[in-house]
Amino acid sequence: MCYTLFSAVSTVTELDKDGDGIADTTTEVITKGDCITTTKVYTDSNDDGTQDSFVEITNRLSGYVTTETGTITHNTDGTQIIKYEVDKYSNNGQVSGRIDTLDAEGNVIKSEYDLNNDGRIDKTETKTYNDDNTVKVAVDTYNDGKVDSVTIETYDSNGNIIKNEYDRDNDGVFEASDTRIYDDKNHLIVINHDTNNDGTTDSIDSREYDKVCNLSKQVLDRNADGQDDYIILREFDEKGWTTKTSYDTNGDGTIEKSMTYERMPLKGHSLKQFVDKGDDGSIDQINTFEYDDFGQVIKREYDYTNDGVVDATFWDTYNENQYISTLQDKNQVKRLFFYSNAELSSDEKLLNLEGIYIQRDNISITISDDVLDKIASDENSHKVVVNSTKTGDMLNLDGNFTKTTETESHSGQDCVKYTDEVGNALIVDPDITVNII
């Protein structure tokens, strides 16, 4: 069984440049509904009758264009290995290396992602196709050989996903699901969310599109009672970029907040958001984002009152399987935010560090006592506060650390205090498991 994304019309043209009866290039134009046209140009570079590379250009009616290039390896069993790289010069698209393994019928059965294009696989997805039009997607988020989550996708005859079931921790229990409805143009118009997978719709996400297929309106019914609770309106330029987003935060028909956007070519590109919190025509806040050549945010600046003073700056770094964000406020106080496993090393921005915040489940962070010596103390002689709103997080203290009997209040809860041999203190969220190694 070969699955397609949705109904498409395809035309193929072959070009034999040297007249040897073997096509040097094959061009396939795929039209999907009235919104998307994809042109694939396959090349047989050594004239052996087998395609070995391609360029894929997708044009959307909105004006948004993306480009992918790839090389093809054909295996003797009929399977293929396709190595992709997204063209970073196509509308500032994200460079994200990907390797797909296809079965003999052309279905993608495995995808390996190099998210920062450093030559290392960061994430892996495997797909199992079933005869009942369902696909099982198993995700190894950190490429450590362990399946972290499973999704069962159900498709209609057009290849649209009409249902998702989510096992978010791969324990065999599907905790949530959603069902999806499409119009006659294959636009996704309704998502019904079942947050505990008990068969009852808990919230509804409805969508509308403009004449060039941009998502122009989104309506959220948060408790599925038939009342609009939150409305988002979007405007776009001729390239399909969002130029303005307006928010009706209580569904009463009045816009309470809006944002306009300005894009500039800086280090890949940069984006400015101008926030009008009362929708009265005045700019209340300015946010600036800088991106690297891989499409990743590397710097975020927030001027919360539009007074020309940057109130908070984040630097975002990406190393192998980890994502770390450093916040510095206008008083030069710094905090570190971890989004995956990481070891706090002496090359991090540690001066005036006030807090470490764990932002995802099951993260393990290691802090050594020699690194702690480099961190400046706060007014209470604490080196750092380690905080988390998640479960399953772990802090490894590498060195001569001691758990004290003291508790200290932080963010409304009593935290556990640890000190090293010279008295450096850490205040730790009681929900974090601490190992002294």
Residues 6 or more apart whose Cβ sits within 8 Å of residue 298:
267, 290, 291, 292, 315, 316, 317
Q: What does each C-alpha distance from 402 to 154, 229, 364, 415, 416 come to in angstroms?
A: 53, 50, 19, 15, 11
Highest mean pLDDT out of 77-81, 111-115, 201-205, 271-275: 201-205
Spatial separation of the C-alpha atoms in residues 239 and 228, rounded to whole Å: 30
Model confidence band, residue 161 (pLDDT cutoffs 50, 70, 90): very high
Residues 6 or more apart whose Cβ sits within 8 Å of residue 396:
364, 365, 366, 367, 434, 435, 437
CA dihedral (282, 298, 114, 367) positive or negative: negative
Model confidence band, residue 162 (pLDDT cutoffs 50, 70, 90): very high
Q: Is the pLDDT of residue 8 over 80?
A: no
DSSP H or E run through 28 = strand 25-32
Please tell me what DSSP assigns to residue 433. E
Q: Which of 428, 434, 435, 409 is nearest to 357 (CA)?
A: 428
Spatial separation of the C-alpha atoms in residues 204 and 178, rounded to whole Å: 9
CA dihedral 236, 240, 245, 249 (to 10 degrees): 120
Count CB-CB contacts under 10 A for residue 107. Answer: 17
* Mean pLDDT along residues 173-190: 94
Model confidence band, residue 101 (pLDDT cutoffs 50, 70, 90): very high
Percentage of residues of the chain with pLDDT beyond 70: 87
Burial class (CB in 10 A: 0-12, 13-18, 19+), 32: buried
Tell me what pLDDT residue 335 has. 78
Tell me what pLDDT residue 270 has. 85
Tell me what pLDDT residue 71 has. 94
Tell me what pLDDT residue 319 has. 62
Q: Which of 156, 108, 114 is nearest to 134 (CA)?
A: 156
- pTM, 2 dp: 0.75
* Mean pLDDT along residues 340-344: 71
Q: Is the pLDDT of residue 121 over 80?
A: yes
Tell me what pLDDT residue 113 has. 86
CA dihedral 93, 34, 131, 80 (to 10 degrees): -40
Q: Regarding predicted confidence, which is higher, 302 or 68?
A: 302
Least confident window among 130-139, 184-193, 343-352, 418-427: 343-352
